[in-house]
Amino acid sequence: MNHDQLAMEVISQYRITDPELAFIRHNENLTYKVSDKADGKSYLLRIHNPVTAGLSGIQHTLKGLQSEVTLLQELHRNSELQVQVPIANLSNEYVSVTKLEDTLCYATLLTWIEGPILTAEDSDNKEIAYKLGEQLALLHQFTRTFTATGQFERPIYNAEKVDFTVNELKYGVENEVFSLELYEIIVQVSAVVKDQLKLLDTQKKTWGIIHSDIQLNNVVMSNGIPCFIDYCLSGFGYYLFDIGSATTVLKSGVRDSFLEGYASKAAFTADSLRIVEGLIIMDVLLCYTFFIRDPERNGWIKEHAEKACDKIWKPFLEGKEVYYSF
């Protein structure tokens, strides 16, 4: 069974009369746009089978997916944000079960948000940057009041995740993806980041549910408002991590507008920028771990890491500001 056939099999579990599939991408999930020609409605189908083993995690488990469904439902009901709403299948379940190459995997169906994804041109627009900051602040306003139960299981982006990242990236040296000297810089930078996290842990309201994966493809412009999609990697983390994630979407010249937009609805001061820098580096290194063990997909890491080392990591270790250099 190929992927298109698998997608049609999953769609048969839903109340969609005349489905038409359009493949989107295969990354942490296999995704399709599903259009019901009978009523004109569109949906996002996600088959939770990552393209590479490094992308798999608690977010692909039944409890992890049920927790994401809960988060999206709560955001839809109780926040100002426009989100993709989970759709129940014929069994009135929000997580469907299927098989891929004799292996059990899960699938979810969400509503479709109309509008173009954020473009490189948009990323240099001060008005859009400001609105992006506002929307991120609204997300964090909501998650600060969201109470996760004991059944709520999502990825955790903490100091242990930094330790995992450093340990996982040893593979890069052992398999000549990058040099020992570069890895030692990674170790030094990660130690600084861990110290920053310890500082955040002493402060109030720095930790909660975050999106964690804000990139161009995960922001849809709906009626002029940037809307976050793809909460697949959402989990427990520092709110400043999201600020860092969103920062790298935007050109350096509009980042102040983004921060102003955020500060208009949630607490933020420029004193936090040094920590934001560290969390951006944490985000980048974590991204390396997704692909480091996949020889078909890790070719870009060597060049990226060498440039980042010279342009970002070494100046960061020297105490220089690098927020506008990413």
Assess contact for 103 and 200: CB atoms under 8 A.
no
Cα–Cα distance, 11 to 33 (Å, whole number): 11
Per-residue pLDDT band for 326 (boundaries 50, 70, 90) equals: very high
Furthest CA-CA distance within the chain: 61
Q: Would you say residue 1 has pLDDT above 80?
A: no
In angstroms, the CA 15 to CA 54 distance is: 34
> Is residue 237 scored above 90 in pLDDT?
yes
Chain position carrying tokens 């976050």: 228
Q: Are residues 28 and 157 in the same domain?
A: no
Instruction: Examine the domain organization and report whether 147 and 54 are in the same domain.
Output: no
Q: Is residue 326 part of a domain?
A: no
Task: Classify residue 201: in a domain, yes or no.
Answer: yes
Q: Are residues 104 and 149 in the same domain?
A: no
pLDDT tens digit sequence for 19-62: 999 999 999 999 999 999 999 999 999 999 999 999 999 999 99
* Confidence category of residue 225, pLDDT binned at 50, 70, 90: very high
| Residue at 324 is within a domain | no
Name 71's Cβ contacts closer than 8 Å, sequence gap at least 6. 146, 154, 209, 231, 234
Write out the H or E segment, with its range, that includes residue 143. helix 126-145
Rounded-to-integer distance, Cα 138 and Cα 99, Å: 38
Do 107 and 183 lie in one domain? The reply is no
Question: Which of 77, 111, 145 is a domain's end point?
Answer: 111
Predicted local distance difference test score (pLDDT) of residue 17? 96
Average pLDDT, the chain: 97
- Number of structural domains, the chain? 2
Q: Sign of the CA dihedral 182, 234, 6, 20?
A: negative
Phi, psi of 159 (to 5 degrees): -65, -35
Whether 323 is in a domain gets the answer no
- At residue 47, the pLDDT reads 98
Q: Do 214 and 156 lie in a common domain? A: yes
Place of tokens 């549910």: 209
Report the pLDDT value the prediction gives residue 102, as an integer from 0 to 100: 81
Domain C-terminal end among 90, 111, 132: 111
310 assigned to some structural domain? yes
Amino acid at 192: V
For the stretch 67-93, pLDDT in tens is: 999 999 999 999 999 999 999 999 999
Residues in CB range of 174: below 8 A, 6 or more apart: none
Q: Does 147 share its domain with 71?
A: no
Is residue 164 domain-shared with residue 21, that is, in the same domain?
no
111, 146, 174: which is the final residue of a domain? 111
Same domain, residue pair 96 and 197: no
Q: Is the per-residue pLDDT at 259 higher than 80? A: yes
Mean pLDDT in residue range 177-189: 98
Evaluate if residue 158 carries a pLDDT over 90.
yes
* Residue 101 pLDDT class (50, 70, 90 cuts): confident
**Do residues 156 and 88 share a domain?**
no
Residue 40, in any domain of the structure: yes
* pLDDT cut 90: percent of the chain above it: 97
Q: What share of the chain is helix, strand, coil (3-state, %, to 5)?
A: 50, 15, 35
Per-residue pLDDT, 118: 97
Q: Model confidence over 274-311: pLDDT tens digits?
A: 999 999 999 999 999 999 999 999 999 999 999 999 99
Say if residues 178 and 301 touch (Cβ distance below 8 Å). yes
From residue 35, alpha-carbon distances to 11, 40, 94, 110, 230 in Å are: 11, 7, 19, 12, 19
- CATH number for position 38: 3.30.200.20
CATH number of the domain within which 268 lies = 3.90.1200.10
- Band (pLDDT 50/70/90 cuts) for residue 181 is very high
Structure tokens at 275: 């920590």
Between β-strands 103-111 and 42-47, what pairing exists: parallel, antiparallel or unpaired? antiparallel
Residue 174 in this model has a pLDDT that exceeds 90:
yes
What is the SS3 assignment for 308? Answer: helix
How many Å apart are CA 121 and CA 54, to the nearest integer? 31
15 band by pLDDT with thresholds 50, 70 and 90: very high
Distance in angstroms (rounded) separating the CA atoms of residues 244 and 277: 7
Question: Same structural domain for residues 81 and 205?
Answer: no
Q: Within a domain: residue 168?
A: yes
CA-based R_g, the chain, Å: 20
Same domain, 59 and 178: no
Instruction: Specify the residue for token string 């599939």.
Output: 21
Containing structural domain, residue 255: 122-317
Residue 63 lies in a domain: yes
- Do residue 67 and residue 133 come from a single domain? no
Mean pLDDT of the region 128-156: 95
